[in-house]
Structure 1
Amino acid sequence: MAVKHIPEGYHTVTPYLVCDGADKVIEFLKKAFDAREVSDTMKNHDGKIRHAELLIGNSHIMLTEACDKNPSMPTMLYLYVEDCDKVYKQAIAAGGKSIREPEDQFYGDRSGGVIDSSGNQWWIGTHVEDVAPEEMKKRMQEMAKEKTDVK
């Protein structure tokens, strides 16, 4: 039996976060996004996380603690959820700092963002409207015009 080049349950792209305080980020992900660990977390001799895997919805996320050879690299991720307002509040309650409260976007999502203790941005979205490409372009141009008109 041939081994699949992508393990069962994984996707072509799997985020791998390098975090200062990876243990705190894991706890945040569990509380904010109902993440669950899918394998035993491996730790270094000093007790810091060497490798952890979590599942958020249907997507895997891998994490490790930052070190001299592998420094912290905050990133930005976008999560689709059923109710972004609810999950945004849950993320704030879990210790996330608000970047922007949820609001409707020109591209058909309602989204808001939080930042975790390691500097990662988590944008939380719910798709609420299918927007045709022409309409999306028009809305984006209108939004850009409104922002330049404000002084």
Structure 2
Amino acid sequence: MTDANNHRFIPDGWHAVTPRIVVQDARRLVEFLTRVFAATGEFQEDRPSVVRLGDSNVMVSDAGIRSPQTAFLYIYVDDTDATYRRAIDAGARTIEEPFDTPYGDRRCMVEDEWGNTWQVATPFTGADPT
């Protein structure tokens, strides 16, 4: 992305807003994201880990100088039901089982063991999420 003077200020592959989750045991959260959402990226011991979920990056950091901070994220996946099952198998708690919303998403909601809430959705064919 560039500003009015055509200066580049967002690195390639990133968006203007990047979620950052701070937890105790970031390594395990990175493993959870890899298992449940097929995230790519690896745990980094000495800096924030960057994992890619679909087309988006999420930074994951160990608590230390920062206190743990949870997130509430809406994530589109190719199969809500399969992702829900993987999340539950990985220790997440059900908030909402998968259901069809009136606005065209098949959606569920889970909370991981760190307190992060994940609304997981797959749009119906031709559905507009707005």
Give the TM-score category using the shorter length. Answer: 0.7 to 0.9
Identity of aligned residues (%): 35
Match of 2:33, SS? helix
Could you tell me how far 1:19 is from its partner in structure 2?
A: 1.1
Report the Cα distance in structure 2 between the residues aligned to 1:70 and 1:7, rounded to whole angstroms. Answer: 24
Letter in 1 for 2:74: Y
Q: What CA deviation, in whole Å up to 9, does each residue of 1:58-113 have, x standing for no partner?
A: 1100011112x411111100100111111111111222121111101122111001
Out of 88, 91, 106, the residue aligned to residue 84 of structure 2 is 88
C-alpha RMSD of the superposition: 2.2
Could you tell me how far 1:27 is from its partner in structure 2?
A: 0.9
Gaps of 5+ in 1: 44-49, 134-151
1:104-123 matches, within 5 Å, as: 104-123=100-119
Aligned to 1:41: 44
What TM-score, normalized by structure 2, do the two folds share?
A: 0.85
Gaps of 5+ in 2: 1-5
Aligned to 2:49: 52
Could you tell me how far 1:132 is from its partner in structure 2?
A: 9.8
Aligned to 1:47: none
Report the Cα distance in structure 2 between the residues aligned to 1:97 and 1:23, rounded to whole angstroms. Answer: 20
Aligned to 1:74: 70
Out of 113, 121, 127, the residue aligned to residue 130 of structure 1 is 127
Report the Cα distance in structure 1 between the residues aligned to 2:56 and 2:81, rounded to whole angstroms. Answer: 20
Aligned to 1:137: none
Change (3 A) 1:52 1:132: closer
Letter in 1 for 2:66: N
Change (3 A) 1:3 1:131: closer
Aligned to 1:18: 22
Misfit runs of 4+, over 4 Å? none
- Alpha-carbon contact 1:24-1:117 (below 8 Å) kept: no
Report the Cα distance in structure 1 between the residues aligned to 2:34 and 2:129, rounded to whole angstroms. Answer: 35
Aligned to 1:7: 11
Report the Cα distance in structure 2 between the residues aligned to 1:4 and 1:132, rounded to whole angstroms. Answer: 30
Report the Cα distance in structure 1 between the residues aligned to 2:112 and 2:30, rounded to whole angstroms. Answer: 10
Report the Cα distance in structure 2 between the residues aligned to 1:75 and 1:29, rounded to whole angstroms. Answer: 13
What TM-score, normalized by structure 1, do the two folds share?
A: 0.74
Aligned to 2:3: none
